[in-house]
Amino acid sequence: MTFQHKELSSGRWSKLSFFEQMANIGSEVERALNWQARKDAAYSRKAAERALELLDLTLDNASGPAKLKELARTREIMVDYFFGSNEFKSSESSWRKYFLPFTFAARRHC
Give the pLDDT mean for 77-84.
Answer: 98
Q: What pLDDT sits at residue 86? A: 97
For the entire predicted model, the pTM comes to 0.89
Query: Residues near 53 by Cβ (< 8 Å), separated by ≥ 6?
Result: 3, 4, 5, 9
Q: What pLDDT sits at residue 69? A: 95
How many of the other CB atoms lie within 10 Å of CB of 14?
Answer: 13
Q: What pLDDT sits at residue 13? A: 87
**pLDDT for 9 beyond 60:** no
Cα angle vertex 56, ends 30, 36, to 5°? Answer: 25
Give the pLDDT mean for 17-39.
Answer: 97
Q: What pLDDT sits at residue 7? A: 60
